[in-house]
Amino acid sequence: MRFACLGSGSRGNATLVEEGGTRVLIDCGFSLRETTRRLARLDLTPDDLTAVLVTHEHSDHVNGVARLAMRHGLPVYATAGTARGGALEELDWRLVCSGQSFGVADLHIEPVAVPHDALEPCQYVFSNGNRKLGVLTDCGSHTDAMLDAFSGCHGLVLECNHDPAMLAAGPYPAALRRRVGGADGHLSNQEAAEFLATIDHGWLQHLVAAHLSETNNLAHLARTALAAVMNCTEDLIDLADQEVGLSWRSLHN
């Protein structure tokens, strides 16, 4: 199994997971042209995709889903709330229910409900039977079910959205600061580190800091927080960038 990121942040998100000939795209917040351009950096085209999985209906995750799916005949997997909020019901929509695993060709997928200010958000854990990959962004806090689902991953894409001090002193209005930092908002660097410390992280081959705010965070702050938990140097923590994404990372047997 391997994974890559087309881009991560408030201006668009998309993560790619591949097992054998199966390639699923998690979210698509970019235009079709931009998605095609970013896939080409990974030596792929939209026709190489098997399906699109959607986490929630916010524009930076769903803006490009309908056009991509219709143009290239792709099934779209989402919860009922996400499909309703993201106007996905007229597509080849497949219902996702948090806590109920399903398969897409070579991948076993577990959708996990998360606290976020959307209609019915979820994140996903992938398995090929030997290796486990978790993708966890866009949540303001964690639940026991999340801790259980994301423990024992061999790869983890983990939101490190903001530094609390930068958020407090930054340009956002008070209501937006409360939303971002709230229990249904986004994980701070410290909250991400606490989550990481709580789960079983001893199997991790790749750890990726993702969904960093360009206004309220710095890469080295996110890396420092996660590296302290992993007892490693900052350079061993990968970063999913808004512009360049993240190149392929493989999970080895």
Q: What is the pLDDT of residues 204-218, one digit of tens each?
A: 999 999 999 999 999
Structure tokens at 175: 């209501």
What pLDDT score does 139 carry? 97
- Burial category of 17 from C-beta neighbours within 10 Å (exposed 0-12, middle 13-18, buried 19 and up): buried
The pLDDT of residue 184 is above 90: yes
- Give pLDDT tens digits for 86-106: 999 999 999 999 999 999 999
Question: Is pLDDT above 90 for 253?
Answer: no
Q: Is residue 250 part of a domain?
A: no
* Domain that residue 93 falls in: 2-245
Helix count and strand count (H, E) for the chain: 9, 14
- 253 assigned to some structural domain: no
Name the pLDDT band for 195 (thresholds 50, 70, 90).
very high
pLDDT surpassing 90 at residue 181 = yes
Across all residues in the chain, what is the average pLDDT? 97
Residue 19 inside a domain? The answer is yes
| Domain-located, residue 182 | yes
**How many Å is the maximal CA-CA distance in the chain?**
48
Question: What pLDDT score does 88 carry?
Answer: 97
| Residue 204: other Cβ atoms inside 10 A | 18
Query: Of the candidates 17, 18, 47, 42, which has an alpha carbon nearest to the alpha carbon of residue 32?
Result: 47
- For residues 157-169, give the mean pLDDT: 98
Task: Let me know if residue 25 belongs to a domain.
Answer: yes
| Domain of residue 143, CATH code | 3.60.15.10
Percentage of the chain modeled with pLDDT above 70: 100
